[in-house]
Structures are given as C-alpha cells and as structure tokens.
Amino acid sequence: EESQSFYDAVGGEETFRRLVRRFYEGVVDDPLLWPMYPAEDLAGAEDRLSLFLIQYWGGPGTYSERRGHPRLRMRHNPFVIGSAERDAWLRHMHDAVLSLELPEELEKRLWDYLVYAAHSMVNAPDA
C-alpha cells in the first residue's frame, strides 16, 4: 500500500530487533569498538538502538518516551569517534543489513541512511 511506512514495509519491530541483534554480535568481537560499550548492559544497549531505529522509521515512539529527544550527536560526546570507529561501526552494520535480505530498494534506503548517520556522528579528527 502506498502510505505504508518504511517501518511496516521492512517487517516492523521484528526486523529492527534482528538487525540490531546481528550488529551487536559483530561489536562484541571488535577490539576497537567493544571497549566503548557497557558490557554489563548489552541488552540495554540493544534495546536503545532498536527503539531509536523503530521510532526513526515510523514505528512506535517508545524510544523518546523512555529517553527523550534523541540528540544523538550529544549522546555520543562521551565516545571518541574517528573514521576508524565509524568504519568499524558501519562494517558490522553492513553485515547486519545484508543479513535481513530485504528487497533491494528497501535495503538501499536503510543502508544510505546508516552511512549518512554514521558520518554525522564522527566527533574526533584523524590524527
């Protein structure tokens, strides 16, 4: 249907949960990224990223009910994100996106957004 949200088109909450689960499987094995994440609250981190993406793409607004306005660049200030961290993040996210086996057009839209968003999160210049 024409007015269907992207959220519905890709399969709703279950799809974003699968995406983020797969993404974090890569992150926990990444020596550059994993030290940045809260090892004791991996489930919480999965939940926050899933709920953000769900809200961003037109699903329920649970993320902001719990966390307020996303302000993602500000929330990433505590972490040093240079091009190496960005590229590692995108590598795991690319694996995760491909694992969904979405129709090409939906896959491209999701991936293009993630690339753009990851570039906008860089907060440290390369040495």
By CB under 6 A, name the binding residues for ligand HEM: 33, 36-38, 45, 48-49, 52, 67, 72, 75-76, 79, 81, 85-86, 89, 114, 117-118, 121
Residue among 122, 114, 124, 108 at smallest CA distance from 91: 114
User: 9 vs 34, which CB is nearer to ligand HEM?
Assistant: 34
User: 17 vs 48, which CB is nearer to ligand HEM?
Assistant: 48
8-state DSSP, 39: G
Q: How far is CA 42 from the centre of its chain?
A: 14
User: 5 vs 87, which CB is nearer to ligand HEM?
Assistant: 87
CB of 97 to ligand HEM, least distance (A): 12
Residues 6+ apart with CB under 8 A from 118: 86, 89, 90, 93
| 3-state secondary structure (DSSP) of residue 7 | helix
Residues 6+ apart with CB under 8 A from 13: 50, 54, 59, 60
CB of 1 to ligand HEM, least distance (A): 26
CB of 24 to ligand HEM, least distance (A): 10
CB of 43 to ligand HEM, least distance (A): 10
